Structure 1
Amino acid sequence: MLIEFSVSNFLSFNEKETFSMVAGKARKYSQRIYNDKKSKLTKCKVIFGANASGKSNLVYAFQFIQKMILDGFPRGFSNKYYRLHPENKNMPSNFEIKILSGSKIFSYGFSVILATGSIIKEYLYENINSDVQKVLFERDTTNEKFSVGQYFKRQDVIEKLNNYGEDSANDVETLFLSIINKNKGKMFVDFPDLKVLRNIFEWFATRLNISFPESILTGYPYFTDSNLDEIADILSALGTGISELKIVEVPIELIKKKIPDNIFNQIVSDLEKANVRIHNDNHGSHPRVMVRSYKEFYTFEIDSDNKVTITTIEFSHENKDVYFDLNEESDGTARLLDLIEIFFKISDNRIFVIDEIDRCLHPAMTVKIIELFLEMAKKRDAQLIITTHESRLLASDILRNDEICFVSKNVQGASVMNPLEKYQLRADKKVYAALFDGTIDAIPIFDEVRLNSLLDK
C-alpha cells in the first residue's frame, strides 16, 4: 500500500511537496481505514483544485517514477523541471515513495538532473520507526559509489549485490532497481534474501495503476467470459441500460485495416515470445494483449500452435437480440468500462491513481462510483487516488477529512499540496461551504473587473 509520495523540481512542483495516505485521528468511517501495528492508512484520497493548479502534474509525477523504474527516462523528460526558476534546470529533481510491502515499510527514491538525463542518487531503505532506517542500498553516480547497508546479513548476498552495484556505480541512465530486476530470475532463486528487491519492483510494475482521462487502468484484464454477467449487472445497476455482454471474434483482416502494420507485427511478435516463456515455464495459460483506442478495444490471444485470435466485446440493451459495438455506446458508458475494474476482486492490494475521474460522467454517477468504492474498501485493501472538480463529493459528506486534499498555486506559481486538516476548519464548518466562501483556496479566481471590461469592448 502507498504511504507517502514526495516530489520536487518537477513540472509545477518546486520545493518538496508530500502527498500522504496516512490516516488522521477521526473516528468517522473508521471501518474502511487500514490499520496494523505500523501503519494507519486511508484507502481513498480525493484531490481538488482549480484548473492549472497542478492536480494532473501530481499524477504525472507518479507516472514518471513508475516509467523510470520500468522503462527508463520517458519521452520528453528533459524539460520537465520547474521552469519558472531558470536555475532549476541544473538542479536535481527528487522523487521518494514510501510503501507498505508485506509487513515492512520501505522508502525508495532517486534524484535526477532532467535537463541532461542524469541519475545522480538512488536509495532503498527499510523504515524501522520514525527515527531508524536500515539501508538496503545507496548509489551515488557523481562519486561513482555503491554501498550495501545493514539490511542484508549474509556475506554471499552482500557480495552478490555489491558485484551488480559496483558495475552500475557510474551508470547515469538506468536505475539500479531496474538493473537488478532485468533477466535476474535465477539470482533470486539462488539468493532468496534479494527477493525484497523484486517485491519493490513488482509493486511499481503490477500494484501501481495510473490512468489519465484518455487512458484506461490496466487494459481490461477482468473482461473474461466468467465475469461478463457481473459486469453487465453493475452497468445495468448504474443505469446505463445495458443488460448483457458477449465476447465476439473479430476477423484479423479487419483489425489489420485499423492498426498500422508495425504495431500489429509487434503485438504478434510479443505474443510469440511470451508463448515461448510460458511453454518453458510449463504454464497452462495463453498469452493475451489488450489493444485500446478511443471507444474500441481488442484482445489478441495466441494458442500453443501460435495461432492468433482477436476478440472484442458487444453490448445489448433492453432487446437482448440486438448487440452494439463499444464505439456505438455513449462516452459515459465507455468511461465506466475504464473505471469499473476498481470494483472487482482483482483490484485487491492495488493502488489506482486516476486523473479527472469525472470526465464524461454525470455528477451523480461520479459520487456513486466513489460511494461504491468506499463501501468496498471496508473489505479490501485497494487504494483509490483521484483528481476531480466534482464538488458534490464534498456536499455529500461521504468522505473523511483525511480523505480530502487540495492543490493550489502559491504566489510564485508553484503547486502546493494542502490536506484539508491544514485549514483547521471549525467543527461546525462544512467543507463544501468553505470551498466557495474563500476559506479554502481551491477554486478559480476571476478578475471580474477585467472580464467586464472585455465584455464592454
Structure 2
Amino acid sequence: MLLSAKFENIYSFNEETRILFTASKSDMLPLHVSRAEKRDDISVLRMGLIYGANASGKSNIIKCLAIIKAFALNGWSNRKYNYFKMTDNPQERSSIELEFKVNDQFLAYGVAFSKGGLLEEWLYKTGSRNDTMIFERKRSGNDWENVIAPQFMKEESGQFLKYLIDGTPTKGTFLSEYIERNGKGIDAIKLARKWFENLNIIFPNTHRTDFPFRVVSDTQFKIVMRELLEYFGTGISDLCRVESKPEELSIPDEIRQQIEENLEGKDEKTGVVIHNESRFIFAEKDESKNLKWYELKTVHKKEGSNSDYIFEMFEESDGTSRLFDFIPMLIDMRANDAVYVIDEVDRSLHPMLTLKLLEMYNSLLRGNSQMQLICTTHESNLLSTAPIRQDEIWFVEKDKKGESHLSSLCEYKPRENVQKGYLNGRYGAIPFFGELDNIHWDDAKQK
C-alpha cells in the first residue's frame, strides 16, 4: 500500500511536494482503512481520488510513480521526463520518494537523478516513531559512495553485499542489482522489489495484454470477465478467439519475424500478445509445435436467435475498451492484495459507470486486505455519490508561476455539499477561464 509520495523539481512540481494516503481518526467507512494494530503501525487508506483542472499536474503524479517503478525494477533507462522549467534558475536534479507498506513492514525508497543518470538511491525502514537506514548510494562525478547498515554487514553475507553494491552499474539501481545477482541477507530489499512488481499503473493509453491468454486458458476467469461485461451493460455476451493469417492482422514484418524467432525452438506451449490499433493479437504453438496466430473478438447475441454477431475489438466503444483494462484489475484485486493507480479513471466512461466501478471495488474490500486503488479524475459527481472519505480526496492546482500544489479536502473541513463547493471553486483545482471579449475573432481571417 502506498502511504506517501514526494516529488521535487520534476514536471510541474518545483519545491518538494507530498501527497499522503495515511488515514485520519475518522471512523467513516472503516473498510476503507487498513488500521494500525501495533505500536509502530500506520493506518493507511485503501482509496484515493485526485482532482484538478486540465494541465494542473494530476497526471504528473502518476508519471512520477511510473518513473520510480522503472528505476526500482530496471535501473536508469534514459526515460524521458522534464525537470521544472518555469524558473529563471532551473535545476537539473530531480527526486522522487515513495513510502509504502508491504506485508507488515513500512519502507521508503527514493532516487535522485538528472538527465545524465542516477545521482542517489536510498531505502529506509520507516515507522510512526523513527526511520532506519537500510542502504544509501550517492554519486560524485563517476564515483559512488555506498553505505549499507552495519547490522547487515556483520552477517556472513556482508562481504558479498559490499561487492554487490560497489559493483552496481552507474545506470543500475542496487534494488534491481540485488535481486538479479541473488543477493542475500537484506529481506527488506526483496520486499521493496516485490511491492514495485505489484504496483500496477494504468494510463489512458495503457492496454493489458495478459487477459487474452487467460480468457482461453482460465475458465473461471473467462466466466467472471463475461459476467462483469454484462453487469456493466456493454452488450457483450462472450469473448472468443479466431484464427487468422498474420498478413491479415496488419502486423509489421519485422515484428512478426521477431516473434517467430523468439518462439522458435521452445518446447513448451508459449506465446506473446500484442496490441495493434485496438486489436488483441496473440501467437502460440499448437500440439504439433506449429505457430498459430489468433485475434480476440467479442460476441453479441442476436435477439430472438441462437446465432451470434462477432465484432472486432476496435468496433467496440472507447468506454468498453477501457473496461478491458479495468475488469482484469477487479478480478486481480479479488484474489490478491494489489495496488492499482489509474490516470483519468473516468475517461470515456459514463458517470454512472465510473461510480459502479468504484462501488465494485468497495465490495471487494476486506478487513485485513492491503489492496488499494488511487485514481485521478474530473468526475465531480463522485464527490456526492461515491462512498468516499474526506481524507481520500486531494486537489491539484497550478499557481501563476506554473507550479503544482496539492491540498487535502481535510484541510478545508467542509460542512457543505462537497461537489457543490468544488464546482464553486471553494477548493481550487478547477479551470478558470478568461473573457470572451478578449478573443479577436475578426482578426482571424479564413483562408
TM-score, length-scaled by structure 1:
0.86
Say which SS state the counterpart of residue 122 (structure 1) adopts. strand
Match of 1:46 among 49, 66, 69: 49
**Structure 1 pair 308/25, CA: closer, same or farther in 2 (3 Å)?**
farther
Native 8 Å contact 2:76 2:173 kept in 1: no
Distance 1:313 1:130, change over 3 A: same
Equivalent pairs counted in the alignment come to 428
In the other structure, the counterpart of 2:384 is 395
* Amino acid in structure 1 at the alignment position of 2:59: S
The 3 A distance-change label for structure 1 pair 101 and 429 is same
> Does residue 198 of structure 1 match 2:186?
no
For the 8 Å contact 2:271–2:282, the answer to whether it is kept is yes
CA distance in 1 between partners of 2:134 and 2:42 (Å): 21
Matched, 1:247 2:250: no
Contact 2:74 2:173 (C-alpha < 8 Å) held by counterparts: no
Distance 1:307 1:124, change over 3 A: farther
Q: Which residue of 2 aligns with 1:6?
A: 6
What residue in structure 2 maps to residue 130 of structure 1? 128
SS of 1:88's partner is coil
1:50 Cα deviation after fit: 0.5
Distance in 2 of aligned mates of 1:439 and 1:151: 51
Q: Give the residue type in structure 2 aligned to 1:340.
A: I
Q: Does 1:404 align with 2:430?
A: no
| Per-residue deviation, 1:286 | 4.3
Equivalent position SS for 1:52: coil
Counterpart of 1:108 in structure 2 is: 109
Q: Does 1:31 align with 2:31?
A: yes
The CA distance in 1 between the partners of 2:7 and 2:264, in whole Å, is 39
Q: Does structure 1 conserve the Cα–Cα contact (< 8 Å) formed by 2:153 and 2:159?
A: no
Give the deviation of 1:300 after TM superposition. 3.0
CA contact (8 A) 2:14 2:403 kept: yes
* 1: CA distance, partners of 2:380 / 2:188: 41
Q: Secondary structure at the match of 1:64?
A: helix
Q: In structure 2, what is the equivalent of residue 282 of structure 1?
A: none
Query: Larger deviation: 225-234 or 215-224?
Result: 215-224
Output the CA distance in 2 between the equivalents of 1:306 and 1:180. 37
Q: In structure 2, do the counterparts of structure 1 residues 287 and 385 end up closer, same or farther at CA, with 3 Å as the change threshold?
A: farther
Larger fraction in helix? 1
Cα distance, 1:452–1:342 mapped onto 2, change above 3 Å:
same
- RMSD, aligned CA: 2.5
Query: Does the C-alpha gap of structure 1 residues 249 and 48 become closer, same or farther in structure 2, counting only changes over 3 Å?
Result: same
Quote the residue 2:171 is aligned against: 173
Post-superposition Cα deviations, 1:320-374, rounded to whole Å, max 9, x if no partner, equal 5322221222222111112112210456222111111111111111111111112
User: Does structure 1 conserve the Cα–Cα contact (< 8 Å) formed by 2:77 and 2:171?
Assistant: no
2-side partners of 1:35 and 1:217: how far apart?
32
Which of 299-308 and 195-204 deviates more?
299-308
Question: Could you say which residue in structure 2 is the equivalent of 1:358?
Answer: 346
Aligned to 1:341: 328
Alpha-carbon distance between aligned partners in 2 of 1:150 and 1:431, rounded to the nearest angstrom? 51
Query: What is the aligned partner in structure 2 of residue 259 from structure 1?
Result: 251
Aligned counterparts, 1:220-369, within 5 A: 220=211, 222-224=214-216, 225-226=218-219, 227-255=221-249, 258-271=250-263, 275=266, 286-302=269-285, 307-319=290-302, 320-345=307-332, 348-369=336-357
Question: Residue 81 of structure 1 aligns with which residue?
Answer: 83
1:315 partner letter: T
Kindly state the Cα deviation for residue 455 of structure 1 after the two structures are TM-superposed: 7.0
Bigger Cα displacement from structure 2, 313-322 vs 438-447:
313-322
Q: What is the CA distance between 1:245 and its match in structure 2?
A: 2.1
- Taking a change above 3 Å as real, the CA distance of residues 60 and 374 of structure 1, as seen in their structure-2 partners, is same
2:445 corresponding residue in structure 1: none
Preserved contact between residue 269 and residue 289 of structure 2 (Cα < 8 Å): no
* Consecutive unaligned residues in structure 2, runs of 5 or more: 443-447
Compared CA separation, residues 396 and 353, structure 1 to 2 (3 A):
same
Equivalent residue, structure 1, for 2:412: 423
TM-superposed deviation, 1:269: 4.4
**Post-superposition shift, 1:181?**
2.5
1:354–1:387: 8 Å Cα contact kept in structure 2? yes
Query: Are 1:228 and 1:246, in contact at CA under 8 Å, matched by a contact in 2?
Result: no
Partners of 1:286 and 1:301 within 8 A in 2: yes
Tell me the residue number matched to 2:64.
Answer: 61
Q: How far, CA to CA, are the matches of 1:40 and 1:311 in structure 2?
A: 47
**Aligned counterparts of 2:99 and 2:271: Cα–Cα separation in 1:** 32
Following superposition, the deviation at residue 10 of structure 1 comes to: 0.5
What is the Cα deviation at residue 391 of structure 1?
A: 0.7
* Preserved CA contact (<8 Å) 2:345 2:377: yes
Shift in CA distance, 32/415, structure 1 to aligned 2, threshold 3 Å: same
Structure 1 unaligned residues grouped into runs of 5+: 280-284
1:443 maps to what in 2? Answer: 430
CA distance in 2, matches of 1:150, 1:388: 45
CA contact (8 A) 1:229 1:245 kept: no
Contact kept, 8 Å, 1:120 with 1:140, in 2: the verdict is yes
Shift of 1:305: 7.1
State the secondary structure of the residue aligned to 1:334: helix
Name the counterpart of 1:370: 358
Match of 2:419 in 1: 432
Q: Deviations over 1:268-313 (max 9, x none)?
A: 444469x5xxx7xxxxx74443211332112333479754333332
Q: Structure 1 residues 87, 36: CA separation in 2 closer, same or farther (over 3 Å shift)?
A: same
Contact 2:7 2:17 in 1 (8 A): yes
**Alpha-carbon deviations, 1:66-114, whole Å to 9, x = none?**
122333434553x610011253333x21111111122111111111123
Tell me, in whole angstroms, the C-alpha distance in 2 between the residues paired with 1:402 and 1:59.
19
